[in-house]
């Protein structure tokens, strides 16, 4: 069931790692952001939208990870968008003949995910500032913090920040360790962009985890920044999302942290040897 978190903005939380699908009401229908995870859940979203009288007129994927690129036939055939880089990244992913096996590795066997329409998005022109649709202006804030082509969305007149896979109360910053740049600096740069609009935000919706208010958006920016600075300094972060204080069921986030720390140490050693 979707719940309204701001005027004309609703969220559906998945049973799969608290993934959030977001619906923004427009004049003739809705914008659906990161449509969902399971077959049953996306069908339920479609049912809810029929009750609300708002067909899907546009879709958007915040970044090129499979769990943000799903779609279901019951949601219709509206145009689906992502940033130009996001579209290029998912095109490359789908060119791998084993991509379905790669997705399956991340899924428990009881989760049924419709994959036939995964990643069928059109890339917006490079540098596009708004989503083209008949509804409230939705500003695109593109960065490379979590993945190439990642975008947060600011629904300005509703005071809502759709953060993609950032600003979560359960997930630490998950770095793009396969890019060419400095993953920590790229994430810090993304946080600075979000901090620049925080004064206009009353509601923040992360890709995974709990919806927050104006206070939480600033708290989460600071918490994520503190984690990254500790990681860069080679120190153990004091972060409630990892270790003994992790939310029950989310203990695996500590493994993610340890893996990131190890990989960064390896990269630093490689760069030092090269210098």
Please report, for the chain, the start and end positions of each structural domain, with discontinuous segments joined by +. Answer: 3-274
pLDDT tops 90 at residue 245: yes
Predicted confidence band of residue 15 (pLDDT cuts 50, 70, 90): confident
Residue 114: the pLDDT is 87
pLDDT tops 50 at residue 274: no
Give whole-number Cα distances, 205 to 35, 159, 166, 264, in Å.
14, 11, 9, 28
- The CATH number assigned to the domain with range 3-274 reads 3.60.15.10
Give the pLDDT confidence of 179-203 residue by residue, as tens digits. 768 999 999 999 999 999 999 999 9
The pTM of the full predicted model, rounded to 2 decimals, is: 0.94
Residue 271: the pLDDT is 57
Give the pLDDT confidence of 59-98 residue by residue, as tens digits. 999 999 999 999 999 999 999 999 999 999 999 999 999 9
Give the pLDDT confidence of 212-227 residue by residue, as tens digits. 999 999 999 999 999 9
Give the pLDDT confidence of 22-33 residue by residue, as tens digits. 999 998 899 999
Give the pLDDT confidence of 40-63 residue by residue, as tens digits. 999 999 999 999 888 999 999 999
pLDDT tops 80 at residue 109: no
Residue 275: the pLDDT is 47
């Amino acid at each position: 069931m979707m719940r309204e978190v701001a005027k004309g903005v609703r969220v559906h939380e998945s049973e799969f790692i608290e993934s959030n699908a977001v619906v923004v009401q427009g004049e003739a229908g809705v914008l659906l952001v990161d449509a969902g995870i399971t077959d049953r859940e996306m069908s339920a979203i479609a049912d809810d939208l029929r009750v609300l009288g708002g067909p899907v007129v546009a879709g958007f994927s915040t970044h090129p990870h499979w769990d943000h690129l799903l779609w279901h036939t019951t949601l219709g055939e509206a145009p689906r968008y992502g940033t130009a880089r996001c579209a290029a990244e998912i095109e490359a992913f789908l060119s791998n003949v084993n991509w379905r096996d790669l997705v399956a590795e991340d899924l428990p066997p009881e989760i049924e995910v419709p994959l036939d329409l995964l990643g069928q998005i059109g890339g917006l022109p490079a540098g596009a500032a708004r989503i083209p649709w008949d509804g409230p202006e939705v500003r695109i804030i593109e960065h490379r913090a979590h993945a190439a082509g990642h975008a947060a969305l600011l629904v300005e007149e509703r005071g809502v920040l759709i953060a993609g896979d950032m600003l979560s109360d359960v997930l630490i910053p998950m770095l793009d360790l396969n890019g060419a740049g400095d993953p920590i600096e790229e994430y810090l740069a993304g946080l600075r962009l979000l901090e620049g609009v925080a004064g206009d935000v009353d509601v923040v919706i992360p890709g995974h985890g709990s919806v927050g208010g104006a206070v939480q958006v600033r708290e989460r920016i600071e918490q994520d920044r503190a984690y990254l600075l500790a990681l860069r300094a080679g120190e153990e972060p004091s972060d409630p999302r990892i270790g003994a204080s992790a939310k029950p069921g989310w203990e695996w986030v500590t493994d993610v942290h340890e893996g990131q720390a190890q990989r960064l140490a390896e990269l630093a050693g490689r760069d030092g040897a090269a210098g």
